[in-house]
Structure 1
Amino acid sequence: MSDFARSLLRPGGYRSVPYAVLGAVPAFPVAPFAVPWALLSPAGWPRLLLAVLTLAVLLGLLGLLGPVRRIGVAVANGLLGTDLPAPGRARPAWPDRLRSGAWLVLHSGFGGLLLGVDGLLVLGVLMPAMWLNGDQGQFAFFGATAAAGPWTLPVALIMLVAALLVTAAATRGFRAGAIALLGPSAAERAALAERRAAMLAQRNRLARELHDSIGHTLTTSTIQAAAAADLVEADPAQVRRALGTIEEASRTALEDLDHVLGLLREEPAAKEPTRTLTEVDVLAVRAREAGLDVRLAVTGPVAALPATVSREGYRIVQEGLTNALRHAGPGAVDVRVVAGPERLEIAVVNALPGDRPRTGRRGLTGLTERVEALRGELDAGPDGERWRLSATIPLRTGT
């Protein structure tokens, strides 16, 4: 069975009727402006033809407006079941405006023609009802007349089938025309591809943010909970401190999660949490409470760093301490942050475990991408008997 035959069995195959009705709406406010021009021609067909041509020109001019194109795409997607991408907020180019104007003219013209044809065919369906009601009048067909009778039944059936065929064919025609004239141009497709690339980049950034924030919180909380379980009877004060750390870390992670989920839902989210190197001491305190011997050294005006650089620096230290919590051997963890006039340097160094560390490649890969986006460099790997995570981010263009 062909697609057209299958469309006759689906209600969606007859969407052209409401679409045609909606196409007549723009003609009503425009029609009064076409009447004065039509009155300049002789009565009869010339006047009617001039009125139709004037109405078409006015509809075409109306279609040049940017909002008309956006409305046309939305209506086609809603009533015809097309999947046309919505035009961007930028003003459409003139070729796209011309296509929109042409489509508005065709939409209104063929919509009115469809309604007229369907109206005549549906009137034919009423013939058997008139005959069964006792009406013995004459029916005229193309100049010939026939008395009412049983013949009206098959004729009415034929006209009903014809109405369904015409309506289904019009639906397919409307869809093809909408795709051709309202579909994206090459420039719009390029803009759509850019928006999609930006959206994917944003989602990747959010995934990295979640990995850094939630991963650090879960690691810290797991270690703190395990330590608290061992000390619940021997050192209740230490247990309370551990639970406080877990609560604070969880609250911070919930703030990050709420912000990210709000962005994914495209709804107004809570204000984006600002985590910068000015809070690096908080990371050190949490890591110490989780059992690490953290030696933190901060040099230079960290508060004066560019916001983007400071945020990435915070994430670098966070990832380094998270990996140390998971994999470091016994010994101190040295964290060094140097904010110089030309570059930011960060190093997190910890002892290697006996079986060599698992490197946490997913987090390090995300950090590398973000540091490289700032024209910086990030290295991670064994350095003698210790594991070193180091990053250098330039603060001046061309450095």
Structure 2
Amino acid sequence: MPGFVRSLLRPGGYRGLPYAVLGAALTVPVAPFAMPWALLSPAGRPRVLLALTALAALLGLLGLLGPVRRFGVAAANGLLGTSLPSPGRARSAWPERLRSGAWLVLHAGFGGLLVVLDGLLAFGVLSVAMWLRGDQDEFVFFGVTTVAGSWTVPVAMVMLALAMVVTVAATRGFRAGAEALLGPSAAERAALAERRAAVLAQRNRLARELHDSIGHTLTTSTIQAAAAADLVETDPAQARRALGTIEEASRSALEDLDHVLGLLREEPAAKEPARTLTEVDVLAVRAREAGLDVRLAVAGPVAALPAAVSREGYRIVQEGLTNALRHAGPGAVDVRVEAGPDHLAIVVVNALPGGSPRPGRRGLAGLAERVEALRGELDAGPDGERWRLRATIPLRTGA
């Protein structure tokens, strides 16, 4: 009850009135098709009842249409303040259609009833104004003629209070009915959860792409810029090479960034940059120019690897070199890529940073997700005085 009283003091409690007006208005385009049915019965009440029955049947059939249900959800969210999920444009099942048709009938019926009732109650409020203006000396209430006077003031207040109570109660009823009959079914909730999971997975993938590409470029460029600043006077040629490396790495990162932003904007976009293990030597060269002593060993038919496996392998090597450069600093790094008949193995080994591991937690978490998506295994941690990153990805279903 306290909640109902609070609704009387809030504008949102009266959302049901415009929603009722909409429901009454929905009967206007359908009424001409229902009126001829009244001619099939004798004059009197049965004829009116038949016309109302035909009107309800036509509204129910109209509610079976998918666009009508989407309109009903949008109207409930906009006018009643509900948060019903959009049913989408997929073909709805018959149970959902029947619920939508039933709600359209109830919306129109109770909407028209509320409009009429509030209109009658509003007459009591208007009677005060007519009495004060002297426009009317008598009023007829339910067939009884009475003389206008000060008694219209308390009557108007009572009728206004009744109108407020009825409207707030109707608003609550409309909200409950809309959530029950226009809300998603169990199957629709499952489909909605799947769509949300797909969107979340896509966002996580894009976050990994940005972390791997941009993070690697920024780390390399920062170190190269510092080196160029130290060598600009003593070894200008080496400084120019460092600046050239920064330019090349930045251009590559911009391509990746353009692709990811195109996906976020859902634009027809630029082709995804093809970074595969066939370019792992380019990663090694850039890392060497940044100060790492990269000893790269590639074995097996790397060029024949599946495209998805080769792309993820490239990112694994990239992240391993980035972490080595970021946390251990310039030094020796052993990188081995082995493409066997049944699996791809990648191992990156570098010195521990200051005798204790400080891996990039977010980067390793992203790598773990990449490898797990390909049914592989990732192992990263200290191995004696060195840090070892090893990833194994099967190339066959049964591997």
TM-score, normalization by structure 1? 0.90
In structure 1, give the amino acid aligned to 2:307.
A
Residues 258, 269 of structure 1: 8 Å contact kept: no
Which piece of structure 1 moves more, 311-320 or 246-255? 246-255
Deviation at 1:267, TM superposition (A): 4.3
- Structure 1 residues 222 and 376: alpha-carbon distance in aligned structure 2, compared to 1, 3 A threshold: same
Deviation at 1:260, TM superposition (A): 4.0
Q: In the alignment, which residue of structure 2 is the partner of 1:376?
A: 376
- Structure 1 residues 199 and 26: alpha-carbon distance in aligned structure 2, compared to 1, 3 A threshold: same
Q: In the alignment, which residue of structure 2 is the partner of 1:268?
A: 267
Residues 207-246 of structure 1: pairs in structure 2 closer than 5 A: 207-246=207-246
For residues 361-382 of structure 1, the C-alpha deviation after alignment (integer angstroms, 9 at most, x for no partner) is: 3322321232122112222344
1:392 aligns to what SS in structure 2? Answer: strand
In structure 1, give the amino acid aligned to 2:360.
G
Which piece of structure 1 moves more, 242-251 or 12-21? 242-251
In structure 2, give the amino acid aligned to 1:110.
F
In structure 2, give the amino acid aligned to 1:196.
R
The CA distance in 2 between the partners of 1:335 and 1:305, in whole Å, is 18
Residues 331, 351 of structure 1: 8 Å contact kept: yes
Q: In the alignment, which residue of structure 2 is the partner of 1:84?
A: 84
Structure 2 residue runs without a partner (length 5+): none
Q: In the alignment, which residue of structure 2 is the partner of 1:162?
A: 162
Deviation at 1:329, TM superposition (A): 7.0
Deviation at 1:105, TM superposition (A): 0.5
Residues 114, 170 of structure 2: 8 Å contact kept: yes
Q: In the alignment, which residue of structure 2 is the partner of 1:4?
A: 4
Q: In the alignment, which residue of structure 1 is the partner of 2:277?
A: 277
- Structure 1 residues 2 and 310: alpha-carbon distance in aligned structure 2, compared to 1, 3 A threshold: same
Whether 2:93 is the aligned partner of 1:93: answer: yes
2:40 aligns to what SS in structure 1? Answer: coil
- Structure 1 residues 115 and 329: alpha-carbon distance in aligned structure 2, compared to 1, 3 A threshold: closer
Residues 328, 354 of structure 2: 8 Å contact kept: no
Which piece of structure 1 moves more, 132-141 or 370-379? 132-141
Residues 136, 147 of structure 1: 8 Å contact kept: no
Residues 293, 333 of structure 2: 8 Å contact kept: yes
Q: In the alignment, which residue of structure 2 is the partner of 1:123?
A: 123
For residues 276-306 of structure 1, the C-alpha deviation after alignment (integer angstroms, 9 at most, x for no partner) is: 2233233222212211222334444444432
Q: In the alignment, which residue of structure 1 is the partner of 2:40?
A: 40
- Structure 1 residues 124 and 329: alpha-carbon distance in aligned structure 2, compared to 1, 3 A threshold: closer
- Structure 1 residues 42 and 323: alpha-carbon distance in aligned structure 2, compared to 1, 3 A threshold: same
The CA distance in 1 between the partners of 2:305 and 2:209, in whole Å, is 20
Q: In the alignment, which residue of structure 1 is the partner of 2:346?
A: 346
In structure 1, give the amino acid aligned to 2:61.
L
Deviation at 1:59, TM superposition (A): 0.9
- Structure 1 residues 65 and 245: alpha-carbon distance in aligned structure 2, compared to 1, 3 A threshold: same
- Structure 1 residues 198 and 137: alpha-carbon distance in aligned structure 2, compared to 1, 3 A threshold: same
The CA distance in 2 between the partners of 1:371 and 1:72, in whole Å, is 45
The CA distance in 2 between the partners of 1:394 and 1:89, in whole Å, is 39
Residues 135, 148 of structure 1: 8 Å contact kept: no
The CA distance in 2 between the partners of 1:99 and 1:57, in whole Å, is 14
Residues 66, 89 of structure 2: 8 Å contact kept: no
Residues 16, 174 of structure 1: 8 Å contact kept: yes
Deviation at 1:391, TM superposition (A): 2.0
Q: In the alignment, which residue of structure 2 is the partner of 1:287?
A: 287
Residues 15, 80 of structure 1: 8 Å contact kept: yes
Q: In the alignment, which residue of structure 2 is the partner of 1:23?
A: 23
Q: In the alignment, which residue of structure 1 is the partner of 2:337?
A: 337
The CA distance in 2 between the partners of 1:376 and 1:270, in whole Å, is 30
The CA distance in 2 between the partners of 1:193 and 1:72, in whole Å, is 22
Q: In the alignment, which residue of structure 1 is the partner of 2:318?
A: 318
The CA distance in 1 between the partners of 2:237 and 2:204, in whole Å, is 41
Deviation at 1:227, TM superposition (A): 1.0
1:184 aligns to what SS in structure 2? Answer: coil
For residues 235-281 of structure 1, the C-alpha deviation after alignment (integer angstroms, 9 at most, x for no partner) is: 223223222322333343344445445555x5437434443223323
**Aligned Cα RMSD in Å?**
2.5
Deviation at 1:177, TM superposition (A): 0.8
Q: In the alignment, which residue of structure 2 is the partner of 1:141?
A: 141
- Structure 1 residues 89 and 340: alpha-carbon distance in aligned structure 2, compared to 1, 3 A threshold: farther
Residues 329, 352 of structure 1: 8 Å contact kept: no
The CA distance in 1 between the partners of 2:88 and 2:298, in whole Å, is 46
1:92 aligns to what SS in structure 2? Answer: coil
Deviation at 1:68, TM superposition (A): 1.9
The CA distance in 2 between the partners of 1:353 and 1:173, in whole Å, is 65
Residues 291, 331 of structure 2: 8 Å contact kept: no
Structure 1 residue runs without a partner (length 5+): none
For residues 216-246 of structure 1, the C-alpha deviation after alignment (integer angstroms, 9 at most, x for no partner) is: 1221122112212211211223223222322
Q: In the alignment, which residue of structure 2 is the partner of 1:14?
A: 14
Deviation at 1:44, TM superposition (A): 1.9
Same amino acid, percent of matched pairs: 82
Residues 343, 393 of structure 1: 8 Å contact kept: yes
TM-score, normalization by structure 2? 0.90
Residues 357, 381 of structure 2: 8 Å contact kept: no
Residues 125, 157 of structure 1: 8 Å contact kept: yes
Which piece of structure 1 moves more, 200-209 or 72-81? 200-209
